[in-house]
Amino acid sequence: MPKKSRGVTSQRVSQITPSGIRRFFDLVASMEGVISLGVGEPDFATPWHIREAAIYSLEKGYTMYTSNLGMPELRRELSRHLKYKYGLDYDPATELLITIGVSEGLDLANRAILDPGDEVIMADPGYVSYSSCVVLAGGSPVMVPTYEKNNFELNADDIEKRITDKTKAILIGYPANPTGAVMSRDKLEKIAEVARRHKLTVISDEIYSSLVYGVEHTCAASLPRMKESTILLGGFSKAYAMTGWRIGYAAASKEIIGAMFKIHQYTIMCAPTMGQVAAIEALKSGDNSVNEMVADYNRRRLFMVKGLKKIGLPCFEPRGAFYAFPSIKSTGLSSEEFAEKLIREEKVAVVPGSAFGECGEGYIRCCYATSLADIEEALARMGRFVKRCKG
């Protein structure tokens, strides 16, 4: 009997689509003179003292694998850092895992807790990896629409309505990419209460925790009785301008870290050694550099939001991360059309809101982690473009 024809690649992979951000990144790379507000990464190089620590470690020949969990010194520093920042006690030997960025942490967290068909509740719009990581782990993402009028915050009642006997986790990410929303403590407490009542795990991506402007970030694990059921994911990419070093971490119960570790050990082995050395230095003495960068981002944030409003694009006030998320509804274009025409006609790259989910339609994401001069020029070009659209 002839064998039934099967696709070369798995059905699971065919369920996910390539990131809508990368497509624009590739377009930018193929054109000259483009100002990119597209990719979400700091325009600063990693602070010198951090780079120097890594260079010195290379000179000394620290080029081997580290412990699979991550260097003990880094885990100790991280434990101290989380205690100091949030009053949380994580055992460096069993409750912390050094990962290849929050990207790996997201993958491990989902794979460690999900069985086929398990549901994970999350916000729409949301960071592009969230739903794909759930699908790749065999789960089903369940989207909760969030709106500008509600500060793009997830709401406990909306979450509760979507809980079924298959729900395993709630995935939150605040300060948020793409909206720049920061969740208030009050709202987070209500979500925590729902999670506790339904015995759900909270996966909390807090990669932008240090990048907040005039408001406080609340760590989900620091809320009463939440440490045991929260997988806290953090990283060095954004706060310390260390995207290329690929270092992040997961903090959770011994049981969950143990499960994540099993996958990490077989698929990754350990995070890059020199990146881990750099991360130790960042935790020991990176605070001043972070504060300086945050002050700079804040100046650019104010400039960007004011400028967007001035050219006729109403903009929700972002209080965290480094993104503005203006509405482009008044132009009559879809967010894809807007982004595509803008880059071709005015050479400014932004990301269409639809790349982040259905509720992102009608918006574009503009990253302001770029120089004030570039933001000013980008706004002038966008102003011309918007005028023509409304024309």
Ligand X SMILES: Cc1ncc(COP(=O)(O)O)c(C=O)c1O
Span from 97-105, 157-165, 332-340, 346-354 in contact with ligand X (CB under 6 A): 97-105
Looking at the Cβ atoms of 204 and 331, the one nearer to ligand X is 204
Sign of the Cα pseudo-torsion (198, 262, 127, 355, in order): negative
Site string for ligand X, 364-383 (x = CB under 6 A): --------------------
Span from 10-18, 69-77, 99-107, 332-340 in contact with ligand X (CB under 6 A): 99-107
Residue 206 carries which DSSP code?
-
Span from 100-108, 259-267, 332-340, 348-356 in contact with ligand X (CB under 6 A): 100-108
CB of 39 to ligand X, least distance (A): 8
Span from 96-104, 136-144, 272-280, 287-295 in contact with ligand X (CB under 6 A): 96-104
Cα separation values, 122 from 176, 251, 294, Å? 12, 20, 27
Give the list of residues 6+ apart from residue 165 with CB closer than 8 angstroms, or none: none
- Check residue 173 for interaction with ligand X (CB under 6 A): yes
CB of 292 to ligand X, least distance (A): 21
Looking at the Cβ atoms of 349 and 389, the one nearer to ligand X is 349
Site string for ligand X, 120-139 (x = CB under 6 A): -------x------------
Cα separation values, 5 from 1, 8, 16, Å? 12, 9, 21
Candidates 40, 141, 180, 326: give the one binding ligand X (CB under 6 A).
Answer: 40
Looking at the Cβ atoms of 179 and 253, the one nearer to ligand X is 179
Candidates 101, 141, 180, 320: give the one binding ligand X (CB under 6 A).
Answer: 101
Joined together, the tokens standing for residue 274 give 């020199």
Candidates 34, 50, 96, 102: give the one binding ligand X (CB under 6 A).
Answer: 102
- Check residue 20 for interaction with ligand X (CB under 6 A): no
Q: Which residues pair with 352 in a beta bridge?
A: 364
293, 357 Cβ separation under 8 angstroms: no
Q: How many residues does the chain have?
A: 391
Looking at the Cβ atoms of 195 and 242, the one nearer to ligand X is 242
CA distance 213 to 303: 14
- Check residue 38 for interaction with ligand X (CB under 6 A): no
Looking at the Cβ atoms of 103 and 184, the one nearer to ligand X is 103
Looking at the Cβ atoms of 141 and 333, the one nearer to ligand X is 141
Looking at the Cβ atoms of 235 and 286, the one nearer to ligand X is 235
Question: Which 3 state secondary structure label does DSSP give 94?
Answer: coil
Sequential DSSP letters for 361-378 = TTBEEEE--S-HHHHHHH
CB of 320 to ligand X, least distance (A): 11
Query: Does a cis peptide bond (omega within 30 degrees of 0) precede residue 2?
Result: no
Cα separation values, 253 from 13, 67, 96, 167, 250, Å? 30, 19, 9, 20, 10
Q: Which residues pair with 320 in a beta bridge?
A: 212
Binding residues for ligand X restricted to 217-256, rule: CB under 6 A: 235, 237, 243, 248
Burial 167-205, CB ≥16 within 10 A → b, else e: bbbbbbbbbbbbbbbbbbeebbebbbbbbbeeebbbbbb
Give the list of residues 6+ apart from residue 284 with CB closer than 8 angstroms, or none: 77
Task: Please name the helix (run of DSSP H) or strand (run of DSSP E) that holds residue 232, with its range, or none.
Answer: strand 230-235
Query: Judged by CB under 6 A, how many residues of this single chain contact ligand X?
Result: 13
Joined together, the tokens standing for residue 252 give 């959770």
Looking at the Cβ atoms of 248 and 307, the one nearer to ligand X is 248
Give the interface with ligand X as residue ranges (CB under 6 A): 40, 101-103, 127, 173, 177, 205, 207, 235, 237, 243, 248
